[in-house]
């Protein structure tokens, strides 16, 4: 067992959490995701490497995404991220005593399926099945597909070229990402209906065990940064997504014509330091679309507080490198997840209990404020 100081926070809910991976056929048109779920522990084993670095190729990809030295930074990445462990049971049996609501998760730019384990584990511990999609649109720092001959095809992060405008590339990617999230939802529909699904990965988990155990009437989507924009678009496109939670959303990829027409309930949970006027202005357009929409800011937090990064690079070094703000990362994550559960409780009609955090959704409480401290307009015009 890992030293506790190298462990990601345990889930706060009553359920023990299991974890497995799936990659379906179809190459990049298939689905690749990590699945977190309430489990039983009989005959299961802890799987320590399930946190930030699934394989060594992800280390090189993350270094390339950060545009850092391939000589020094792989050692630092492995020291910071590779040592972290997660309190989950790998390939554990699903606790099939009830039908669980479903949450699809979309990672941010340069992320991958395991970089938000803390959020996903906590949601699963509270009774959700969570599908953390690994996007293969060249926005992950590294990912791969497996062809018909069993050969791996690695997909590198796509940097902007010199002189290239950002919106056309990111808008194309967000469309792909939204479709990947919708395909993930449809895959869970197959699980629920008992349809056989081939997994190209060598994992010993029977996805047929999900049959009858997913509540497809209670489905939501959540994403961080680029994943926040992805969640908005996917919720707009797919009727079965009843609401979306946008963690520090990056609005650049979304076409301005989309903003006024998104009618699904949205919850923006922002960090204090990430946003700028144009980004907030786009959020306010979405916020005005219906009364159920909400926006709060977590005070004392930075952009990476909603990922696993502040637990891997902590203390003063974490603040220096921008993986966290001055607020304690565990407290920031607790507020983030409690507010999310309260919003999901309302819009998915969950069992009583999560409404105890309703005030957080309204921006009331310590370390939280309603709206954003960033003004969306300067001198009467956007900037």
Q: For the chain, how far is it from start to end, CA to CA, in angstroms?
A: 51
Contact 31, 180 (CB under 8 A): yes
Residues 140, 115: Cα–Cα separation, whole Å = 11
Structurally, how many domains does the chain consist of?
A: 1
Eight-state DSSP code of residue 281:
H
pLDDT score for 2 = 45
The yes-or-no answer on residue 106 being catalytic is: no
CA angle (132, 138, 144) in 5-degree steps: 65
- How do strand 89-90 and strand 100-106 relate by DSSP bridges? unpaired
Contact 58, 50 (CB under 8 A): no
pLDDT score for 48 = 42
| Angle, helix 226-237 to helix 166-192, in steps of 10 degrees | 60
- Kindly tell me the sign of the dihedral angle through the C-alpha atoms of 317, 321, 323, 328: positive
Residues 114, 19: Cα–Cα separation, whole Å = 10
pLDDT score for 351 = 83
Q: Look up tokens 């050692």; give the residue.
A: 75
Residues 51, 238: Cα–Cα separation, whole Å = 30
Q: Which of 303, 307, 345, 347 is catalytic?
A: 303
- Tens of pLDDT, residues 57-89: 888 878 788 777 566 666 666 666 767 778 888
Residues 76, 94: Cα–Cα separation, whole Å = 36
- Tens of pLDDT, residues 39-53: 998 765 555 445 567
- Please state the pTM of the whole predicted model: 0.94
Output phi, psi for 369, to 5 deg: -140, 155
The yes-or-no answer on residue 308 being catalytic is: no
> Which tokens is 317 given?
């070094």
Structural domain including 200 reads 4-382
Residues 68, 74: Cα–Cα separation, whole Å = 9
pLDDT score for 382 = 38
Residues 100, 87: Cα–Cα separation, whole Å = 20
Q: Which of 225, 271, 340, 372 is catalytic?
A: 225
Say how many residues make up the chain. 383
Residues 157, 162: Cα–Cα separation, whole Å = 15
Q: What is the CATH number of the domain that holds 103?
A: 3.40.50.1820
Q: Which of 248, 308, 340, 372 is catalytic?
A: 248
Question: Among 128, 126, 107, which Cα is nearest to 117's?
Answer: 107
> CB neighbours (10 Å) of residue 48?
17
Low-confidence spans in the chain with pLDDT less than 70: 1-5, 43-52, 69-80, 82, 315-323, 377-383
Helix (H) or strand (E) holding 270: strand 266-271
Question: Among 315, 313, 305, 302, which Cα is nearest to 275's?
Answer: 302
Question: Among 30, 35, 84, which Cα is nearest to 58's?
Answer: 84
Question: Among 10, 14, 37, which Cα is nearest to 102's?
Answer: 37
The yes-or-no answer on residue 12 being catalytic is: no
> Which tokens is 282 given?
């786009």
pLDDT score for 292 = 96
Residues 245, 265: Cα–Cα separation, whole Å = 9
Question: Among 282, 302, 299, 285, which Cα is nearest to 360's?
Answer: 299
């Amino acid at each position: 067992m890992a030293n506790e100081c190298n462990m990601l926070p345990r889930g706060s809910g009553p359920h023990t959490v299991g974890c497995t991976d799936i990659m379906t056929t179809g190459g990049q048109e298939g689905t690749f995701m990590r699945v977190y779920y309430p489990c039983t522990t009989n005959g299961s084993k802890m799987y320590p490497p399930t946190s930030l670095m699934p394989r060594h190729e992800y280390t090189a990809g993350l270094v390339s995404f950060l545009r850092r030295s391939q000589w020094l930074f792989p050692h630092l990445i492995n020291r910071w991220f590779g040592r972290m462990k997660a309190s989950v049971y790998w390939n554990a049996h699903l606790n099939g005593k009830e039908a669980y609501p479903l949450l699809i998760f979309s990672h941010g730019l340069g992320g991958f399926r395991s970089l938000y384990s803390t959020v996903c584990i906590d949601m699963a511990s509270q009774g959700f099945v969570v599908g953390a999609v690994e996007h293969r649109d060249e926005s992950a720092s590294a990912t791969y597909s497996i062809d018909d001959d069993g050969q791996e095809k690695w997909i590198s992060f796509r940097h902007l070229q010199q002189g290239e405008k950002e919106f056309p590339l990111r808008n194309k990617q967000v469309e792909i990402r939204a479709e990947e999230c919708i395909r993930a939802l449809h895959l869970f529909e197959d699980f629920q209906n008992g349809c056989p699904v081939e997994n190209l990965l060598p994992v010993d988990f029977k996805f047929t065990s999900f049959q009858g155990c997913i509540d497809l009437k209670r489905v939501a989507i959540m994403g961080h940064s680029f994943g926040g924009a992805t969640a908005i678009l996917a919720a707009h496109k797919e009727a079965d997504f009843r609401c979306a939670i946008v963690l520090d959303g990056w609005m650049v990829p979304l076409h301005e014509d989309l903003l006024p027409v998104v009618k699904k309930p949205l919850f923006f949970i922002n960090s204090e330091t990430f946003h700028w006027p144009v980004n907030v202005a786009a959020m306010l357009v979405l916020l005005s679309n219906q009364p159920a929409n909400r926006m709060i800011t977590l005070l004392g937090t930075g952009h990476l507080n909603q990922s696993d990064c502040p637990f891997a690079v902590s203390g003063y070094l974490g603040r220096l490198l921008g993986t966290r703000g001055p607020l304690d990362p565990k407290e920031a994550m607790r507020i983030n997840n409690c507010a999310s559960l309260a919003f999901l409780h309302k819009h998915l009609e969950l069992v009583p209990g999560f409404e105890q955090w309703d005030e957080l959704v309204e921006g009331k409480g310590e370390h939280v404020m309603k709206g954003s401290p960033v003004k969306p307009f300067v001198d009467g015009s956007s900037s």
